[in-house]
A and B are shown apart, each in its own frame.
Chain A
């Protein structure tokens, strides 16, 4: 299996601009997660997909954030009207082949580091 792939690795943008990140999970994994990690902290859950359905969103995910997973494959995370407080590492993880067990290992990508100037 190839690992979880995230693009771009780094993104620098000006405040107020829109940005979009992409995550390609491990093939056959039906669960996909987005997390956000700020400096000196552990990752925090943002949202979760089971196949193409977005089943849960954290309160951290304001109206400016939207995530999609069309056809249950890759996922995109868009941030509209970026703010300096959005600067963080955005991590994607995938887990669980169909018929898999609970508590499956989540495999993470290398993340997209966003800097909002």
Chain B
């Protein structure tokens, strides 16, 4: 069975500070994909980033960066120079591809508040 744990329930930071959201996952599959989604107050889940299990290279995309470490089963997400518009609930999710159905298993989310 798959499981995603986001231990941080709520985080508040002052605008322009950097913030890291933690994600730990569990799966027995060797092929899987990890995602981060953002859910603003409007409710729609917005895709942010994806990483597959074979690529541990960490990357930066604009103000977003992520740190994928298979050894610790972690997929952490960092926002640099946070802005008020970053305030939202952030979900980490896992997809395993063993049986064709690529259903997402989500964590419980981290509510991020950026204080102006």
Residues of A close to B42: CB separation below 8 A:
110
Residues of A close to B106: CB separation below 8 A:
42-44
A95 close to chain B: CB less than 8 A: yes
Best-surrounded residue of B4, B31, B91, B106 (most CB of chain A within 10 A): B106
- How far does the alpha carbon of A7 sit from the alpha carbon of B83 in the complex, in Å? 31
B76 close to chain A: CB less than 8 A: no
A84 close to chain B: CB less than 8 A: no
- Residues in B43-69 with C-beta less than 8 Å from chain A: 43-47, 50, 52
- Residues in B4-61 with C-beta less than 8 Å from chain A: 4, 31-33, 35, 37, 42-47, 50, 52
Q: Cβ of A111 and Cβ of B47 under 8 Å apart?
A: no
Q: Cβ of A110 and Cβ of B44 under 8 Å apart?
A: yes
Question: Would you call the interface of chain A mostly helix, strand, loop, or mixed?
Answer: strand
Residues of B close to A56: CB separation below 8 A:
101, 103
B100 close to chain A: CB less than 8 A: yes
Residues of A close to B47: CB separation below 8 A:
105-108
Q: Cβ of B107 and Cβ of A42 under 8 Å apart?
A: yes
A67 close to chain B: CB less than 8 A: no
Nearest A residue (CB) for B111: A40
Q: Which residues of B contact A (CB under 8 A)?
A: 4, 31-33, 35, 37, 42-47, 50, 52, 91, 93, 95, 97, 100-109
